[in-house]
C-alpha cells in the first residue's frame, strides 16, 4: 500500500539522475504531502528516450466516463496486475518510475488512533516506485495522463507497519522496468531486502491531506 508520499528533489535533479528529458510543466515546489489525484513525477521511456513528465496519481481505466466513475486506483497489486482489465495492457507496454523522497504508512494505537510513519531508502537515495500509466480522454476530447504505483506483499521488516509495500526499483533495474532491456520485468515486482528501507514516527498532522511543510517528516 502507498497512499501518500513526499517529494523534495527538484525536477532538474530528477532528470539528471534518470538521464531523462524533463517536461516544461512539472511541479517544481517541494511537496511533503503528495496525495492521490495530485500530479507526480514519472520517468518513462520510448525506444530508449527517457522523459520525465507529470501524471495524475490515480489510474483511470479507459471505460470510465468520468474520473470518479469507479474506485480511485492509486495502487496496482503485483499479484494480479497482468490479469486485471484496468492494468494488464499498461503492465505490458506502459511502465514508468514514480520519483519520490519518501512515503507514509500508518499503524493504529491501542485506542484506534492512526500513527503515521515516514519511510525512506536506508541509503538516502531517491525512491523509484514501479508504476503503470494510462492516457484517459474525457467526453470533450481532453487527455489526462494517469498512473498507479505497483505494490506487493511486504517483507518481514515492513510487516511491522503494513502487510503491503510499494515495489521499489533499484537503479540497475531501471532499464528492465522501463522496457529498455528486453522482457522479464515481472521478476522485479517483489519486495526488496529487509534493509532497503528505514522509517520513523512523525506527527499526526500529516493525517490531514491539507497539511504541508517540512515539519511533516520530522521525527517525533
Using a cut of 0.95, tell me whether the model's pTM lies above it: yes
pLDDT value at 1 more than 80:
no
Domain of 26 in residue numbering reads as 5-217
State the residue for C-alpha cell 492521490. 36
* C-alpha span between 154 and 26 (Å, rounded): 31
Q: For residue 82, what pLDDT is reported?
A: 97
> 113 - beta bridge partners?
none
Nearest to 132 by CA among 157, 144, 150, 115: 150
* CATH label of the domain that carries residue 149: 3.90.1680.10
pLDDT value at 91 more than 90:
yes
Q: For residue 2, what pLDDT is reported?
A: 86
**Max intra-chain CA distance, the chain:** 53
How confident is the model over 16-48, as pLDDT tens digits?
A: 999 999 999 999 999 999 999 999 999 999 989
**What is the number of structural domains in the chain?**
1
Amino acid at each position: 500500500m502507498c497512499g501518500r508520499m513526499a517529494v523534495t528533489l527538484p525536477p532538474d535533479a530528477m532528470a539528471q539522475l534518470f538521464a531523462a528529458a524533463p517536461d516544461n510543466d512539472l511541479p517544481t515546489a517541494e511537496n511533503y504531502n503528495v496525495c492521490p489525484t495530485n500530479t507526480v513525477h514519472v520517468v518513462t521511456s520510448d525506444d530508449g528516450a527517457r522523459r520525465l513528465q507529470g501524471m495524475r496519481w490515480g489510474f483511470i481505466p479507459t471505460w470510465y466516463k468520468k474520473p470518479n466513475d469507479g474506485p480511485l486506483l492509486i495502487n496496482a497489486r503485483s499479484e494480479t496486475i497482468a490479469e486485471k482489465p484496468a492494468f494488464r495492457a499498461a503492465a505490458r507496454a506502459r511502465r514508468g518510475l514514480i520519483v519520490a523522497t519518501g512515503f507514509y504508512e500508518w499503524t493504529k494505537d491501542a485506542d484506534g488512533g492512526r500513527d503515521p510513519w515516514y519511510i525512506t531508502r536506508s541509503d538516502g537515495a531517491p525512491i523509484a516506485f514501479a508504476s503503470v500509466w494510462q492516457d484517459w480522454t474525457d467526453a470533450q476530447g481532453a487527455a489526462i495522463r494517469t498512473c498507479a504505483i505497483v505494490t506487493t506483499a511486504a517483507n518481514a521488516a515492513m510487516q511491522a507497519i503494513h502487510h503491503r509495500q510499494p515495489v521499489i526499483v533499484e537503479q540497475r533495474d531501471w532499464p528492465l522496468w522501463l522496457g529498455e532491456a528486453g522482457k522479464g520485468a515481472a521478476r522485479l515486482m517483489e519486495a526488496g531486502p529487509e534493509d532497503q528501507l528505514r522509517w520513523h514516527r512523525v506527527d499526526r498532522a500529516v493525517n490531514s491531506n491539507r497539511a504541508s511543510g517540512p515539519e511533516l517528516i520530522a521525527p517525533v
